[in-house]
Amino acid sequence: MKWTDMEIDELERQYSPSRWSRRMSADDVIEAHVKALKEGTARARGLAQTLLNVPYGDGDGEKLDVYIPSTDSLDVHLVVYLHGGYWQFLSKEESGFMAVPLVDKGVVVVAVGYDIAPKGNMDLMVAQVRRSVVSVVQQYSHIRGLYLCGHSAGAHLAAMVLSTDWSQFSVAPQIKGAFLVSGIYDLLPILSTYVNEPLKMTEEVALRNSPSRLVPQLQLSSACCHVVVVVAENESPEFRKQSEDYYKTLEAAGLNVSMEDVANTDHFNIIEQLVDGDYHLTQLLLKMMGKS
């Protein structure tokens, strides 16, 4: 599809989440976001036992950070967190923040590292996060419930995990729940935007990595998973549409899916607040685990 310059300008505005925050300027909201994630992760590392840089593959970027609660229970709930950053920014180093309220409830949190662009391409990142989940299942045999949480680009990657053909792997993870927060599920609209410059996706790559087009596979691999599609009140219309369309597609396919439209949030503080045990999404996740 060919876009005019005016259409590309509008697409880029729609796919620039920082320009839609009502709290502060675009540059300031990103700076504040990184600061909040780093501070939350530092708190989590002070509260929990940690296993940092655990390999799940041979690549330098294929590492996990594990936040472990003080519990004698062998059967634990475990959340795998996939960070955002438009597949080209952030890392697992700022991704432990949601462990702050969860380790206190006996929940293990795993922050996944993957090779962001330009080092990593979309096919590689999807393959890496899939292998990270397989590795977690193999390393933690006493998982009572496995859950995914992803933000923005991480929500896209989490949705791709749900759409995995597990017959290619040695195990088939039984994912009980997935929180897809402010995600992108159809990659075609971003092909002509600045977002794709470091990714260098072709239309073919975008199609095979668009979760909205892989729902039949998700029906086979994650039929028992409760998928929660989450969107912030102050997202761009296009980001909201991405979430609403994906939710409707899953619902039409008969999957166990719900949608959460979180008031008084934007693309950034909707995930930052998972550091708080009283936050709506934290409570929703704990309730899904039977821990509220």
User: In order of start, what are the domains of the chain with their CATH numbers?
Assistant: 5-285 (3.40.50.1820)
Please report the pLDDT score of residue 2 as a whole number. 61
Q: Which residues pair with 43 in a beta bridge?
A: none
Q: Which residues contact 203 (CB under 8 A, 6 or more apart)?
A: 188, 191
Strand order through the sheet with 63-68: 49-55, 63-68, 107-112, 76-82, 143-151, 175-181, 226-234, 257-266
Where helices occur in 15-146 by DSSP H, the ranges are: 26-47, 99-102, 122-139
Measured between alpha carbons, how far is 98 from 274 in angstroms, rounded to an integer?
A: 5
Query: Above 90 in pLDDT, residue 247?
Result: yes
Indicate if the pLDDT at residue 71 is higher than 80.
no
Average confidence (pLDDT) over 258-271: 97
Given a contact cutoff of 8 angstroms between Cβ atoms, the answer to whether 136 and 110 are in contact is: yes
Count the Cβ atoms, other than its own, within 10 Å of residue 63: 19
The model's confidence at residue 291, banded by pLDDT at 50, 70 and 90, is confident
User: What is the amino acid identity at position 226?
Assistant: H
Q: How confident is the model at residue 131 (pLDDT cuts 50, 70, 90)?
A: very high
Least confident of 5-14, 81-90, 98-107, 231-240: 5-14
Q: Decide if 106 contacts 83 (C-beta within 8 A).
A: no
Share of the chain above pLDDT 90, in %: 85
Strand pairing report for 107-112 and 63-68: antiparallel
Residue pair 290/113 in contact (Cβ under 8 Å)? The answer is: no
Global pTM value: 0.96
pLDDT for 3 equals 64
Q: Name the band, by pLDDT with cuts 50, 70 and 90, for residue 163.
A: very high
Q: What is the mean pLDDT of the chain?
A: 94
Residue 137 has pLDDT above 70, yes or no: yes
Phi, psi torsion values for 126, nearest 5 degrees: -65, -45
pLDDT for the residue 1 = 54
Q: How far is CA 192 from the centre of its chain?
A: 23
- Percentage of residues in the chain having pLDDT higher than 70: 97
Amino acid identity of residue 147, one-letter, is Y
Q: What is the mean predicted confidence (pLDDT) over 58-66?
A: 95
Instruction: State the virtual CA torsion across 194, 199, 203, 207 in degrees, nearest 10.
Output: -110
Tokens of 192: 């002509």
* Residue 201 pLDDT greater than 80, yes or no: yes
pLDDT tens digit string along 169-192? 988 899 999 999 999 999 999 999
pLDDT of residue 76: 87
